Structure 1
Amino acid sequence: MNQQDDQNEQDGPKYVIDLMFGGRASYDVVVGPGAPESRTSHERVWPAIPAEYYPPPPEVENAVKEVQCILGYLRRVLTPTPLPDDDLQLMSDYLLSMETRDDLTALVLQQTDAKSTINMVSRILLKDDTKYSFKSRAEALLKHWSKIRPSALKDTPEETLADRPVAPFKTDLPDDKLAGWKLDLGETRTAKAQRQLELLNIEKNRCIKYWTTVKPPRVIGWAPVDGEAWKKVPRADLENGNLFFTPYFKPIWESYGLAQMDASYWTDPDNTPEEEAQYQKHKWEKHEMIELTLEMRKVRKEHAQSLGFKGGW
């Protein structure tokens, strides 16, 4: 069940029922009258803000910091194609870290948007990838992660909301790595990773305040746990998307990147002019990091074209 894109018809439902293979279903056919209003619980089951929108908790903060840094370099250097002087051995070690880390959890993958970046690496453009096998390794890692669902539809809300460890994809190291090998980012990149995390947390804390005082983030859809879910919730709640109080539907959230857009233009009325100026300075610093990423990607796109590769990338 997804939020309706076209809101021109004021009398129409806010949420519509999407069919699995396309098209939309009728409320009258699927839901009928729904459950009586008296069946509605007043105890919140789902949070107004999902865990991945918050700054990472202490137990996964270091993993988020390092993984975010690693993925950033993999994305900037390898996609769509590396430059001739790029250090591919280092990038291979970065990917090896992702394959062998023992501190990954479902929340770490969500906080860092890891699947999206590794998916980009799986589409790397190389004339010869036999030495490092970036493409096949990224595909295999994605396949491994795809088997580790954050939750199943029949899980309880408590089980769904709990973080889950993600087992390493590989436990054996290449012959050129000593037993117990762990990636060392080095002093400079560790400092950059720490600063990147600090800037993200500053942004997230601003967003949290906006969502809790002005406007909560929206749920883009609700997934029924089974075919009987429709009969257990009042129809008005279904049409309004007011399902935070029922375990029979699970929320589908948009990515943090999309969710934070409204909050990014908000000015905190509690800030002094000096505090707001400092926040804008931090925001600009993060923007410059994004600009660097875009510039590196532009150069690599041009290089891909010079090699005869075609595509939108």
Structure 2
Amino acid sequence: MGIQNGREIIEQVAQEVADYAPEATTEELSRINPWRDLLPSQDGVLRELIYIGHVLRDLTPTTLPEDDYQLFSDLLRSLETRTNISWRVYEESEIRNPIMSACNRKPIPDEPFDINKRVNALHKYWDALSILPEKPGRWLDESDTTFIPPKLRGRQISDGEGGALSQLQEDDAIFKLNLTPEQNTEATKVYQKWRRNRDHKVSYLKLHPPTPMAWFPVSSSSTGASTAWNEVFPDGKIGRGRHVASSKLVGNKKWKPMFRSLLTENIPFDWVDPSGYEIDWDLELKESNEDYERSKERRAKQSEYQQVLKVKLSEEKAKEEL
């Protein structure tokens, strides 16, 4: 038994020695760094997407009777028809998150504008596009200039798909989002807060490029994936937990990296932007507290309304059983 264990230890050490390779250098990681300055031409669409995501988060866990369903519908229609969302803008704005969250909710009875159906359809559409091999990596310049094809294009949209305001007549037409002065003010406020936080963190990550949290074979076929694995492990021993040095994967066209979100990247609390821009932390705290109180108040209303719906549903079931 002791001899057997000794052999296993020797084999494990030998494999670790064979697997050893230096980790990727800062220079190498900078070649696949997804965090860089945004193009000035993207400011307008980013502002609207950040605002849209801010509003559509109110869909979860349920809407309320007093909500502006026309606004929800118009914002969804904007997402369904936009032709100016580049893959980088899509990733940076994280617009997929409120849509994905809304897919897991239970809509209120008779919710107008087919909102739940449209949210689920949009989520599935974006998900299908995101796994296509031609989608450019976030670290590539092509992610700035490759645009997501709109879900809806060039046809009359019926009232059941979002209301009479949603009408497309030409192949290249998009639904024009018209915000009120109050909504525009809110959109600017929300975007500026997001942008300050984003640029502060990215100023660190540009100088300290992150290591990917995971790597995946580019090819989705079993043959292509096997080729990628065999290139990393020539001995053919592919096992759980076997270490692969990042230097073997950076720049390898058979592998693609997966990065953490900006929220989960570790940025030193005392980091100072080299450009000299300083965040007004008192203002950030004030706005964060206001946002928290608003969310807290809405959650309380949603919880109360859900209880009303449960009671109503129980009463309806009781009547059916009579």
CA distance in 2, matches of 1:146, 1:63: 20
Identical-residue share of aligned pairs (%):
21
CA distance in 1, matches of 2:289, 2:193: 12
Task: Report the counterpart of residue 34 of structure 2 in structure 1.
Answer: 50
Name which of 80, 84, 99 aligns with 1:103.
84
CA distance in 2, matches of 1:279, 1:216: 25
SS at 1:132 equivalent:
helix
Deviation at 1:82, TM superposition (A): 1.6
1:94 aligns with 2:95: no
- Cα 1:191–1:216, aligned 2, differ >3 Å: closer, same or farther? same
Number of residue pairs the alignment of both structures matches: 271
Contact 1:63 1:103 in 2 (8 A): yes
| Map 1:190-229 → 2, pairs under 5 A | 190-213=184-207, 215-225=208-218, 226-229=225-228
Task: Report the counterpart of residue 283 of structure 1 in structure 2.
Answer: 284
CA distance in 2, matches of 1:155, 1:104: 13
Contact 1:56 1:64 in 2 (8 A): no
Deviation at 1:174, TM superposition (A): 3.7
Deviation at 1:282, TM superposition (A): 4.1
CA distance in 2, matches of 1:136, 1:103: 24
Contact 2:212 2:257 in 1 (8 A): yes
Deviation track 1:124-155 (CA, whole Å, cap 9, x = no partner) reads 33342463211111111111112212652x88
Task: Report the counterpart of residue 270 of structure 2 in structure 1.
Answer: 266
CA distance in 1, matches of 2:111, 2:25: 58
Task: Report the counterpart of residue 65 of structure 1 in structure 2.
Answer: 47
Deviation track 1:70-90 (CA, whole Å, cap 9, x = no partner) reads 1211112x2211222112122
Deviation track 1:13-48 (CA, whole Å, cap 9, x = no partner) reads xxxxxxxxxxxxx9999x9946x979x999847635
SS at 2:215 equivalent:
strand
Q: What is the root-mean-square deviation in Å for CA atoms of aligned residues? A: 4.0
State the AA in 2 paired with 1:217.
Answer: P
Contact 1:43 1:245 in 2 (8 A): no
Identify which of structures 1 and 2 has the higher relative contact order when contacts are C-alpha pairs closer than 8 Å and 6+ apart. Answer: 1
CA distance in 2, matches of 1:117, 1:200: 15
- Cα 1:79–1:32, aligned 2, differ >3 Å: closer, same or farther? same
CA distance in 2, matches of 1:27, 1:302: 60
1:84 aligns with 2:72: no
State the AA in 1 paired with 2:272.
Answer: D
Deviation track 1:150-204 (CA, whole Å, cap 9, x = no partner) reads 652x888799662221111112334522556411122222232223222222222
- Cα 1:230–1:98, aligned 2, differ >3 Å: closer, same or farther? same
- Cα 1:241–1:303, aligned 2, differ >3 Å: closer, same or farther? farther
Name which of 149, 152, 156 aligns with 1:170.
152
State the AA in 1 paired with 2:33.
Answer: I
- Cα 1:170–1:47, aligned 2, differ >3 Å: closer, same or farther? same
Structure 1 unmatched ranges of 5 or more: 1-25
Task: Report the counterpart of residue 257 of structure 1 in structure 2.
Answer: 263
Name which of 151, 171, 180 aligns with 1:186.
180
Deviation track 1:243-284 (CA, whole Å, cap 9, x = no partner) reads 33433321111122212xx32623428699xx75x5313432
State the AA in 1 paired with 2:188.
Answer: Q
Task: Report the counterpart of residue 116 of structure 2 in structure 1.
Answer: 135
1:241 aligns with 2:246: yes
CA distance in 2, matches of 1:124, 1:209: 36
Deviation at 1:221, TM superposition (A): 0.7
Contact 1:100 1:168 in 2 (8 A): yes
Contact 1:102 1:168 in 2 (8 A): yes
CA distance in 1, matches of 2:287, 2:43: 19
TM-score (norm 1): 0.70
* Structure with more of its chain in helix, by fraction: 2
CA distance in 2, matches of 1:158, 1:295: 37
